[in-house]
Structure 1
């Protein structure tokens, strides 16, 4: 037996129902503009934050990444590359949230378009705007964190070891990092401390990458 459905009008709307419908319509009508205003505020705030971070990065410190010991030099390079990628994507998403996509507006079918269809289109655009704003803020903060990490590694990372000098004298071999010369002496920094070698007694000099573990006499 086939069931028959009957549609009957519901109860008449109360003043509270009409007030709720009016407020809902007003919220839907202005939600896109509010989302764009919030995106503009976030964009300006993050731009000010990055201006401060760039000023922080200009504070005097080690400026040559090539002087860092391995693998800190590679870590700084990777952090700067990720910082560039996150900053670029974050900026594009913030611009998308603040100003919309560079595409034309598609109107619903039917001229004139019904108000409900227009509100639905604005609501979907608002959701896309909020999603772009959220992702843009996250990527921009990640960009700032990577920038601070790269600067910190550049400042506090260990310096690449300089060349070693091996000096052969009648009393043995001295190997270390040159510190200075003066009064006919060469001051070397060795594992045992600083050692002064008289140049007049030196038999041979050699530049080495690393000092031998146990110098031979």
Structure 2
């Protein structure tokens, strides 16, 4: 003789139980459409935010990343690439949450059990759509933050040093940023101020990235 838990019928349903069951069924029926609607609202709101960011990016400022000093040029490039990836994946998540996975729905005649199974499937899909919406929102916000940071570094990051001009004369060597040439004399900007060097007396003139004895970026 086996022993174990015995199943006994519960009490008969009362009107309150039937009303609770109807509310539960209605909540399950409305759950997925509400999540879809929320995902659409987030998608439209974030799209408006990025329109504003685009207008912000059009404000006058430095636009050439190659003018930035190292390693800021690589940093900005990495930020922009990561922003693109986050934006693309976030958009896919939001589309998944708003419209679901593109799959065919089988056509079946619904019985009582079929309706219950459909509600259960909608409940599972609502949970997946909610998770996709949350991930999409986080990734899209990360995309915007990276984009703003990249633009800020492009505007305010240190620029590359301009090419320097080294001029050798019998009296010595001068090196600095060329400012102007006037009547055979080149004016160089050096650490000690402007220096005027006669090109007539020059024995060698060459462009260098860094003047001798000067640290890069200094």
> Taking structure 1 as the reference length, what is the TM-score of the superposition?
0.89
- Consecutive unaligned residues of structure 2, counting only runs of 5 or more, are none
Number of residue equivalences:
213
Aligned-CA RMSD value:
2.1
Query: Which residue number corresponds to residue 102 of structure 2?
Result: 102
- 1:198, distance to aligned residue in structure 2 (A): 3.5
Q: Distance in 2 between matches of 1:182 and 1:133?
A: 66
Query: Which residue number corresponds to residue 45 of structure 2?
Result: 45
Q: Does 2:141 align with 1:141?
A: yes
Query: Which residue number corresponds to residue 74 of structure 2?
Result: 74
> Taking structure 2 as the reference length, what is the TM-score of the superposition?
0.89
- 1:9, distance to aligned residue in structure 2 (A): 1.9
Query: Which residue number corresponds to residue 22 of structure 2?
Result: 22
- 1:66, distance to aligned residue in structure 2 (A): 1.1
Q: Distance in 2 between matches of 1:15 and 1:48?
A: 48
Query: Which residue number corresponds to residue 114 of structure 2?
Result: 114
Alignment of 1:134-173 (within 5 A): 134-173=134-173
- 1:102, distance to aligned residue in structure 2 (A): 0.6
- 1:15, distance to aligned residue in structure 2 (A): 3.5
153-162 or 6-15, which deviates more: 6-15
Q: Does 2:13 align with 1:9?
A: no
Deviation sequence 1:14-49 (CA, Å, 0-9, x none):
433333222111110111100000000000000000
- Consecutive unaligned residues of structure 1, counting only runs of 5 or more, are none
Q: Distance in 2 between matches of 1:197 and 1:188?
A: 8
- 1:184, distance to aligned residue in structure 2 (A): 4.1
